[in-house]
Structure 1
Amino acid sequence: MSIVLKRIYDEPPQLGGHRILIDRVWPRGISKENAKLDEWMKEIKPSPHLRKWFNHEQEKFEEFKKAYKEELNQDDEKQKKLQELKEMSANERLVLLYGAKDERHNHAVVLKEVLEDL
């Protein structure tokens, strides 16, 4: 299984693998043509309430991580998408793309951890 996290603003599109944007909104300044996505999986993102509460504040990350994992476990649609991602990662490299500036404290980090633990 190979899951790679890349910030969509920094990531060269020629990196091989199944490219999935996992953010709620389309990243500013990136055209759909230049993004070269295979999929846009909005359903896997944190709830608006959780996202707004976290606000990318590092000191809240551990609590955010716990709450996001609970959302992933309790939401049927998110569970379905997790299984899809897990199956994809068994057959090909997954490149999970996100827009957050902080590369260590964001939902993509948590999502990758959850997928690797499935």
Structure 2
Amino acid sequence: MPGKRTMRVRRVYDPPEDGDGVRVLVDRLWPRGLSKERAAVDEWPKELTPSTELRRWYHEDRTRYAEFRERYEAELAEPGPARALDRLLGLAKSDTVTLVTAVKDIDHSHVPTLVAALERGRPSG
């Protein structure tokens, strides 16, 4: 369906499925113990991931999740990440985009914030 955004979220360790479409790794670090072939990743836009500083800050104290989300949203609004968001939105217009991640607790990671940004879309310009 042209114009409809189709996005999925899966763990990168799960085997690829036919319906995955474009598989996009949304982690800054490559998943441990996973070969590039097994990961079957098509894109790895590191600029869409939380900065190393933000990631380390959050990992020091997981109770900071609300502030982590706010800081990550601010990072996503910067020019590099904004262009990468636009690229994924463009891909999603013509194909399924599956965001893959190695994180175990997806609900308390950067992934829901990224998905929300993609679902909102970005106003051009």
**Amino acid in structure 1 at the alignment position of 2:110:** H
User: Residues of 1 paired with 2:24 and 2:90: CA distance?
Assistant: 14
User: Residues of 1 paired with 2:101 and 2:61: CA distance?
Assistant: 17
In structure 1, the partner of 2:102 is 99
Q: For residue 35 of structure 1, report the CA deviation from its aligned partner.
A: 0.9
RMSD: 1.4
Q: For residue 50 of structure 1, report the CA deviation from its aligned partner.
A: 0.7
Higher Cα Rg, which structure: 2
Which sections of structure 1, spanning at least 5 residues, go unmatched? none
1:46 corresponds, among 50, 71, 82, to 50
In structure 2, the partner of 1:86 is 89
* Contact kept? 1:24, 1:45, Cα under 8 Å: yes
In structure 2, the partner of 1:109 is 112
* Contact kept? 1:21, 1:41, Cα under 8 Å: yes
* Contact kept? 2:15, 2:38, Cα under 8 Å: no
**Amino acid in structure 2 at the alignment position of 1:102:** D
In structure 1, the partner of 2:40 is 36
Which sections of structure 2, spanning at least 5 residues, go unmatched? none
Change in CA separation of 1:59 and 1:90 when aligned onto 2, cut-off 3 Å: same
Q: For residue 22 of structure 1, report the CA deviation from its aligned partner.
A: 1.2
Q: For residue 112 of structure 1, report the CA deviation from its aligned partner.
A: 0.5
TM-score by length of 1: 0.91
1:6 corresponds, among 3, 10, 30, to 10
Q: Deviations over 1:29-88 (max 9, x none)?
A: 111011111111112111111101111854221111111001111x21111001001111
Change in CA separation of 1:117 and 1:99 when aligned onto 2, cut-off 3 Å: same
Q: For residue 12 of structure 1, report the CA deviation from its aligned partner.
A: 2.0
TM-score by length of 2: 0.86
Q: State the aligned residue count.
A: 116
